[in-house]
Amino acid sequence: MIRVLVAEDSVTFRLMLVEMMRSDAEIEVVGEASNGQEAIDMTRRLRPDVVTMDIHMPVLNGLDATKQIMIHTPTPIVIVSGSLDPHDVAFSMYALRAGALALLPKPQGPGAGDFDRTVKRFTETIKAMAQVKVVRHWALRQPLAVEGPPAVPVRETRVRVLAITASTGGPTALNRLFSSLHGDLGASILVVQHMVPEFIEGLASWLNLNAALRVKVAEDREPLLPGVAYLAPDNRHLGVSASQTVLLSCDPPIDGFRPSGTFLFASVARVYGPAAAGLILTGMGRDGVEGLRELHKAGGHIMAQDEETSVVFGMPGEAIASGCTHRVLPLAQIPGYLGQLLNNRSQSP
């Protein structure tokens, strides 16, 4: 049984979340907290496998409660957010940075047409997050004493586009990556980040707060500019056209994903060949691996985040096992390595 603590100040929403999780025979709700301080105390006392955390609560909000739990009683936390207000989205993103693993929207209720699918996605996320091994977040905040990145191998073709795929833990990894890269990169960046619907605009805004490069949600047929990171929008595959502009597609999901990392990697492989690079970051599953095979065959340069710094090593691990990766790097070394690869210069640590 997966033991879950529900932290939510609204009695109505709390009861609905409890009933949703009780519909799955593998989940047991062991506690209900009505504010952030209760969530901290009950996590310490009950030691649940997962905590679902509302953002806006009395006494102590969900962001501060997440910080305290990750300091004192590290536990997988799933943020359940009910607002798309930019301030609330930013709060949710900061909770991910503080150590929360995933973000889910508050369900609309049994009257919604897709309620059964919502329940299934919710319970599947809870069960997946229960398997993640978390660490004390204060340790993550310490400066990492790592060696400089390895030298980039000599390449005949300049890299003009970097494709990135990430899932669980990805927003925090992207924030660290983009805040360490210079804005005048010699390449465009395309990103597939598995995200709950309607939060991608908020993610772009949050990433822009600390990034020297520009981060935006991609628009169909817009030109690819160096030093700009384009995020795949909701429910559309992201790729590039033969004329080297953004391509958004409504093609069927690949391995259950739209946007799909495999679609992105295969697309840049076809258009850019050896002038493309691929990076696969922390995440569950194996999305992107088949596309990386095509990029590898086309002569592209492929990197993966290492196991120690990945929140979930599923996607990077599958990429490494495929034999397609040229470099496996800790997150702290990736910006410096990309600096060499994209414009032959070191980046800030």
SS (H, E, C) 62-89: HHHHHHHHHHHCCCCEEEEECCCCHHHH
Nearest to 225 by CA among 190, 261, 195, 200: 190
Strand, helix or coil at 158? coil
Say which of 92, 287, 296, 306 is annotated catalytic.
Answer: 287
For domain 2-140, the CATH architecture is 3-Layer(aba) Sandwich (3.40)
Question: Average pLDDT, stretch 266-291?
Answer: 96
Nearest to 340 by CA among 296, 312, 303: 303
Question: Is 194 in the active site?
Answer: yes
Q: Name the residue with tokens 């590898």.
A: 296
Q: Name the residue with tokens 């301030």.
A: 87
Decide if pLDDT at 129 tops 70: yes
* Distance in angstroms (rounded) separating the CA atoms of residues 226 and 184: 7
Question: Considering the chain, what is the average pLDDT of its residues?
Answer: 90
Digit-coded pLDDT (tens) for 239-273: 999 999 999 999 999 999 999 999 999 999 999 99
Of 2-6, 58-62, 101-105, 122-126, minimum mean pLDDT range: 101-105
3-class SS letters over 186-220: CCEEEEEECCCCCCHHHHHHHHHHHCCCEEEECCC
C-beta of residue 268 within 8 angstroms of C-beta of residue 300: yes
C-beta of residue 103 within 8 angstroms of C-beta of residue 196: yes
Which tokens in the block code for residue 267? 């697309």
Decide if pLDDT at 135 tops 80: no
- Split at pLDDT 50, 70, 90, the class of 345 is very low
Question: Is 24 in the active site?
Answer: no
Strand, helix or coil at 54? strand
Q: Do domains 2-140 and 161-343 have the same CATH topology?
A: yes
* Distance in angstroms (rounded) separating the CA atoms of residues 310 and 298: 27
Say which of 34, 81, 167, 260 is annotated catalytic.
Answer: 167
Say which of 182, 194, 296, 301 is annotated catalytic.
Answer: 194
| Cβ atoms within 10 Å, residue 176 | 18
* Distance in angstroms (rounded) separating the CA atoms of residues 142 and 323: 33
For domain 161-343, the CATH architecture is 3-Layer(aba) Sandwich (3.40)
Digit-coded pLDDT (tens) for 152-171: 877 778 999 999 999 988 99
Question: Is 9 in the active site?
Answer: no
Amino acid identity for residue 196 in this structure: V
* Distance in angstroms (rounded) separating the CA atoms of residues 95 and 88: 11
Question: Average pLDDT, stretch 110-136?
Answer: 83
| Domain extent listing, the chain | 2-140, 161-343
